[in-house]
Amino acid sequence: MKHRKLGNIDVSVIGLGCNNFGMRLDEADTAKVVHAALDAGVNFFDTADVYGNGLSEEYLGKALKGQRDDVVIATKFGAYDVPETLTGGHPEWIKKAVDNSLRRLGADWIDLYQHHFPDAKVPVADTLGALNDLVVAGKVRHIGCSNYGADLLGESNEVSNDRGFARFASVQNRFSVLHSEPLPDVIPACEELGLAFLPYFPLESGLLTGKVTPQGPPEGSRLAAMPEERKEMFLADWQLDRTRVLTSYASNHGRSILELAFGYLLAHAPVSSVIAGATRVDQIVANAAADGWEMTPDELGEISEIVKV
Per-residue pLDDT tens for 57-88? 999 999 999 999 999 999 999 987 566 667 88
Per-residue pLDDT tens for 194-221? 999 999 999 998 899 987 765 566 666 6
Per-residue pLDDT tens for 157-178? 999 999 999 999 999 999 999 9
Average pLDDT for residues 98-115, to the nearest whole number?
A: 98
The residue that leads in pLDDT, 222 or 164, is 164
Per-residue model confidence (pLDDT) at position 77: 97
CA 75 vs CA 17, 36, 126, 306: distances in Å: 10, 20, 20, 34
Q: Classify 43 as helix, strand or coil.
A: coil
Residue 119 CA from chain centroid, whole number: 19
CB distance 101 to 49 below 8 Å: yes
CB distance 246 to 307 below 8 Å: yes
Per-residue model confidence (pLDDT) at position 254: 98
| DSSP annotation of 21 | B
Q: Which one is catalytic: 51, 59, 148, 200? A: 51
Per-residue pLDDT tens for 274-297? 999 999 999 999 999 999 999 999
What domains, with CATH codes, occur in the chain? 3-212+258-294 (3.20.20.100)
Neighbouring CB atoms inside 10 A of 192's CB total: 13
In which band, very low, low, confident or very high, does the pLDDT at 260 lie, cut at 50, 70 and 90? very high
Q: Classify 160 as helix, strand or coil.
A: helix
Per-residue model confidence (pLDDT) at position 82: 63
Residue 124 CA from chain centroid, whole number: 22
| CA nearest neighbour of 262 among 244, 281, 289 | 289
| CA nearest neighbour of 75 among 42, 111, 108 | 111
Residue 180 has pLDDT above 90, yes or no: no
Residue 153 has pLDDT above 70, yes or no: yes
Low-confidence winner among 47-56, 173-182, 208-217, 247-256 (lowest mean pLDDT): 208-217
Per-residue model confidence (pLDDT) at position 224: 59
In which band, very low, low, confident or very high, does the pLDDT at 39 lie, cut at 50, 70 and 90? very high
Partners of 144 in the β-ladder? 114, 170
Per-residue model confidence (pLDDT) at position 104: 98
Per-residue pLDDT tens for 136-150? 999 999 999 999 999
Average pLDDT of the chain, as a whole number = 93
Judge whether 51 counts as a catalytic residue: yes
Q: Is 97 exposed, middle or buried (0-12, 13-18, 19+ CB in 10 A)?
A: buried
12, 14, 16, 17 alpha-carbon torsion, rounded to 10°: 120
Per-residue model confidence (pLDDT) at position 86: 74
87/82 Cα distance (integer angstroms):
5
